[in-house]
Structure 1
Amino acid sequence: MIQALRGMKDIIDDGDLYQYIVKICEEITLNFGYKFIETPKLEQTSLFIRSVGESSDIVNKEMYQFIDKGGNDVCLRPEGTAGVVRAFIEHKFDRAGGVRKYFYYGSMFRYERPQKGRLREFHQFGIECFGEKSVYEDASVIIIGAEILNRLGIKTTLKINSLGDKECMPKYKAKLVEYLNSLDGLCQDCLRRIDTNPIRVLDCKNENCQNLLKNAPLITENLNDECQKDFDKLKEILTNNNIKFEVDPKLVRGLDYYSKTAFEFISDEIGSQSAVLGGGRYDNLVEYLGGRQTYAVGFAMGIERIMEILKSRTQSDERKGIYLCALDDKFIDEIYKLGLNLRKTHNVETNYEAKNPAKHLKSADNLNKKIFLCLGENEFKNNEIWYKNLDNGDDEKLNLNDLERFLNAR
C-alpha cells in the first residue's frame, strides 16, 4: 500500500479547522490593507541560501534540495518571505516606490525530524509589508499577530528585541566573538556559527551552551541612537495599545535576514515553550537579492501549531449543521431544491436515500448534526417539515414558509 511520506500528512478531518484559522487571519489582515499573494512552492536554491543565510539550520540541514531534469539546482520553499521578496523584485515593485502589503498561506517544506507541531510539509500564514520605514508599521505587524491569536483564543507571551542595523551590528558581533572565543565547551553548531553568524549562538537550545552564555554581551546594550530610539518607540506604542510584552535581549530568530525589530509569540500549550508566530524587520533583504534597498517587515505563523492548540480544547461532541432527508423517493426533488436554498446561509447535509425515520435519525447522529429536517407524506400535504433539535430534543412541525426565519433565529 502506498502511503504518505514520513512527516507529510493529509488534512482531512481537520479541514474545517484549517479553513477557519485562515479565514480569521485573512479578515484581520485585509482590514490592515494587505492583499493576497501566491508564489511558487519550487524556487532556485540560491534564493534561500542568499536570503535565509548559510549559517541557518534551514540551509545547513533542512532544505528539500535537488537537481531537476533540466540540470537546475532547485528547492521546495522552506519559508515564505524569500519567495515574496523575489516576486517583489522580479515585478519591479522595488523601483516603483510606495508601500505594498501582502499576505500568503500554504505549504512549506523542511527535512527535519517529525514531532508534535513539526512536520516536513507544514503550513504557514504570513504577511510582508514593503516600503514603510516607520516603527509604527513594526508595531502594526505585531498588533496584527496579537489580534489573530486573540481572535483564536490562544494565550501567548510576546517577546521582543532589537537586532540593530548595519552600523551597530558589526561592532556588537566583534564583542560577541571575542567573548565566545574565550569559552570552553560550546557545542559543534555554536563553534561553526562563530565563523558564519555569531549572533545565532545566542539561539542555541543546548542547555550547557545557554549556561555558558549567561554573561554574554547583549545587542540591546550596543544599539546606536537610531536603533535605540526606534526600539524605545516600539515599546511605547505597544504599551499605549495594551499589548503586553517582554524584552528578550537574546531573541535573534532563526533566519539571517532580520535587522532592528524581532519578535515572537510563545505558547506553552503544545508541550515545551515554542513560538507559534514570529517575525520582524528585514530592511536589507531586497537589496541582498538584487533589488533596490527597500524597508520591509513581516511575520509568519505556523498553522499546524495553532491547530494542535485548538484541537486540544475542541469538544468532539459539539453538534453543527443540518441533516435534510425524505421518507419517500418522490420527495427527493423537493428536499434537493430546499437544500440548495438552505445552503446559501447554512451547512446542510442532504441524504438522497429514502429511509425510515429511525435510520435517518441514526445517520444524522453519526454525522454529528445539530438540526434534523425530514419531509414525509403528511408534511408535504400540509406544506410542513419535521424539525428536531438533536442537542436539546426539541421536536415540532414547521411551516416551510417560516423555516428559514426559524433557523436563522436559532
Structure 2
Amino acid sequence: MITALRGMKDLLENDGKLYKFIIQTCESVVKNYGYKFCETPKLEETTLFKRSVGQSSDIVGKEMYQFIDKSGNDVCLRPEGTAGVVRAFIESKFDRVGGIRKYFYYGSMFRYERPQRGRLREFHQFGVECFGEASVYEDASAILMLNEILNNLGIKTTLKINSLGDGECMPLYKDKLVKFININKENLCQDCLRRLETNPIRILDCKNDSCQNILKNAPLITDNLNQICQDEFNKLQEILRANGVEFEIDPKLVRGLDYYCKSAFEFVSAEIGSQSAVAGGGRYDKLCEYLGGKPTAAVGWAMGIERIMEILKQKEPQNSRQGIYICALNPNLIDEIYKIAQKLRKHHITEISYEAKSPNKHLNIADKRGFEIFLCLGDDEFSQNQIWYKNLNDKSEKRISIDDLWSKI
C-alpha cells in the first residue's frame, strides 16, 4: 500500500470541513479591512527566499524543499507566503505605480522539519500583506484584524509585541549585542555561532537553554530605539489599549525571518500543550527593495492553520450534527426521494441513499455519519403524501406532509 509521505497529511471528512471553516472565518474579517484575494505559485526560484527570508534563518539553512529541475533551474517549494506575494507585487510593477494595495492568501507551504503536533512538512497558512502604507495605524489594524479572527474562532491567546527599530537604530543595537555575546559566546549553540556571523539579531530567537541563559543580561532593542521608532511603538501600544487589546512587550521577539523592521508581533496559545505561536507578523519596509523593487512600506501576518485546527478539535462538541439523510424503503420510491432531495439541496446539506433498506439500517447509517435530520419514505407515507421525519439530536419523530417539509426544515 502506498501511503502519504512523512509530514504530509490528507484533509478529509471533519478535517476538510474544519479547514474550510477557518478559511471562511478569516476571509470574512480581512475583506472588511479592504483585503483582496491573491494566489502565487507554490514553486519559486530558490533565490527569492534566500534574499527575502535570509541566509541566517533556519528555513533557508535547513528546511527548504530545494532541487534542480529538468531545465537546470534552482527552485524550491515555498516555505512561507510573503516573499511570493512581494515578488508578484514587483513583477506587476505595482511598486512603480504607487498607492496602497492589500492582499490575502491561503494555501500550502513546505518545510523539511521534524513533524510534530500542529507542525507538518506540508502545512497551510492564511496570510495578509499590505503595501504602500507606512502609518503605524496599519500595523495596529493588522493586529486588530488577527485578534478579531482568533476571537471569532474562540481561541484564547496572548499577544506579544516588540519593535525591531529601523535602519538607523538597528545597526547600533547589533553592535552592542555582538560585543555582549562575544564575551559569552563559549556556551552558544552551533546555530547561534553561525548566526553571530550572518545576523546576530536572530540569536535572540534561539530556544536553546544555554543560549537563553546568556541572553538574560543582554542589551534590549527596546532600550536602543531612536525617537521615531520609540514614538511609533508608543503609538501602537496606545491604539491597542484604546481598542481593548491586551498585550505583553517582549524585547526578544524578533520572529524567524530576516526581513522584519519596526513592529513585530505574535499571538501565542497554550491550548495545544506548551505555549507556541499560532500567528504572527510585522512590518517589512525594506523587502521590496531587497527583491529589486522600489522602496515600499509593507506590513503583514500569517496564521498556521494546522495549529488552529488542533485547538478547535479540542473544543468541538462531541455530538455536533448537521445535514439531512433521506432514504426510501421501496426501490420504486427512489425517484420520489431524489426529487425531494434536489429541492432540499438548494439550502441544506443533503445526502440520498439509493438503496432500499430497513428503517433501522438506514437510521444506523444516518446516526453514525452525524446527520441531524433523518427522512424516510415508505409506501404508507407515499400514499398519504407524507414522509417520516426524525431529529437525531433530540430524538423527536413524526410524520409530516411532503408539502409542509420545506417550512419544517
TM over 0.5: yes
Q: Which residue of 1 aligns with 2:376?
A: 374
After superposition, residues 73-88 of structure 1 pair within 5 angstroms as 73-88=74-89
After superposition, residues 175-194 of structure 1 pair within 5 angstroms as 175-183=176-184, 184-194=186-196
Q: Which residue of 2 aligns with 1:203?
A: 205
| TM-superposed deviation, 1:319 | 2.1
1:276 corresponds to which of 270, 275, 278? 278
Q: Which residue of 1 aligns with 2:6?
A: 6
After superposition, residues 133-172 of structure 1 pair within 5 angstroms as 133-172=134-173
TM superposition score normalised by structure 2? 0.98
Matched position secondary structure for 1:305: helix
Q: Partners of 1:263 and 1:157 in 2: how far apart? A: 10
Matched position secondary structure for 2:187: coil
Q: Which residue of 1 aligns with 2:406?
A: 404
Greater alpha carbon shift after TM alignment, 82-91 vs 311-320? 311-320
Aligned-partner residue type, residue 146 of structure 1: N
Q: Partners of 1:5 and 1:263 in 2: how far apart? A: 33
Q: Which residue of 1 aligns with 2:37?
A: 36
Q: Partners of 1:256 and 1:223 in 2: how far apart? A: 18
Q: Which residue of 1 aligns with 2:348?
A: 346
- CA displacement 1:262-305 (0-9 Å, x = unmatched): 00000011111110000000000001000011110000000000
Q: Partners of 1:169 and 1:78 in 2: how far apart? A: 26
1:383 corresponds to which of 370, 381, 385? 385
Q: Partners of 1:168 and 1:340 in 2: how far apart? A: 65
Q: Which runs of 4+ in 1 moved over 4 A?
A: none
Matched position secondary structure for 1:393: coil
2:264 corresponds to which of 253, 262, 265? 262
Tell me whether 1:308 sits opposite 2:333 in the alignment.
no
Structure 1 portions without partners, runs of 5+: none
Q: Partners of 1:247 and 1:145 in 2: how far apart? A: 17
Q: Partners of 2:280 and 2:258 in 1: how far apart? A: 14
| TM-superposed deviation, 1:401 | 2.2
Tell me whether 1:323 sits opposite 2:325 in the alignment.
yes
Aligned-partner residue type, residue 336 of structure 1: Y
- CA displacement 1:63-100 (0-9 Å, x = unmatched): 00000000000000000000000000001111111111
| TM-superposed deviation, 1:406 | 1.4
Q: Which residue of 1 aligns with 2:110?
A: 109
Matched position secondary structure for 1:182: helix
2:334 corresponds to which of 332, 336, 349? 332
| TM-superposed deviation, 1:31 | 1.1
Q: Partners of 1:330 and 1:287 in 2: how far apart? A: 70
Greater alpha carbon shift after TM alignment, 395-404 vs 188-197? 395-404
Greater alpha carbon shift after TM alignment, 278-287 vs 360-369? 360-369
Q: Partners of 1:291 and 1:277 in 2: how far apart? A: 27
Q: Which residue of 2 aligns with 1:395?
A: 397
After superposition, residues 284-303 of structure 1 pair within 5 angstroms as 284-303=286-305
Q: Partners of 2:378 and 2:57 in 1: how far apart? A: 66
| TM-superposed deviation, 1:402 | 2.0
Q: Partners of 1:313 and 1:17 in 2: how far apart? A: 12
State percent identity of aligned pairs. 69
Aligned-partner residue type, residue 5 of structure 1: L
- CA displacement 1:147-196 (0-9 Å, x = unmatched): 11101100000000000011111011011111111103111111111111
Question: What count of residue pairs does the alignment treat as equivalent?
Answer: 407
| TM-superposed deviation, 1:113 | 0.8
| TM-superposed deviation, 1:378 | 2.2
Greater alpha carbon shift after TM alignment, 59-68 vs 314-323? 314-323
Q: Partners of 1:75 and 1:126 in 2: how far apart? A: 20
Q: Partners of 1:382 and 1:3 in 2: how far apart? A: 52
| TM-superposed deviation, 1:254 | 0.1
| RMSD over aligned Cα atoms | 0.9
| TM-superposed deviation, 1:383 | 2.1
| TM-superposed deviation, 1:381 | 2.4
| TM-superposed deviation, 1:341 | 1.4
Q: Which residue of 2 aligns with 1:20?
A: 21
Aligned-partner residue type, residue 57 of structure 2: S
| TM-superposed deviation, 1:315 | 2.9
Tell me whether 1:55 sits opposite 2:56 in the alignment.
yes
TM superposition score normalised by structure 1? 0.98
Greater alpha carbon shift after TM alignment, 322-331 vs 162-171? 322-331
- CA displacement 1:302-354 (0-9 Å, x = unmatched): 00000011112223332221111111122211211211211122111111111
Q: Partners of 2:245 and 2:148 in 1: how far apart? A: 10
After superposition, residues 354-365 of structure 1 pair within 5 angstroms as 354-365=356-367
Q: Which residue of 2 aligns with 1:129?
A: 130
Q: Partners of 2:261 and 2:329 in 1: how far apart? A: 67
Greater alpha carbon shift after TM alignment, 32-41 vs 373-382? 373-382
Aligned-partner residue type, residue 175 of structure 2: A
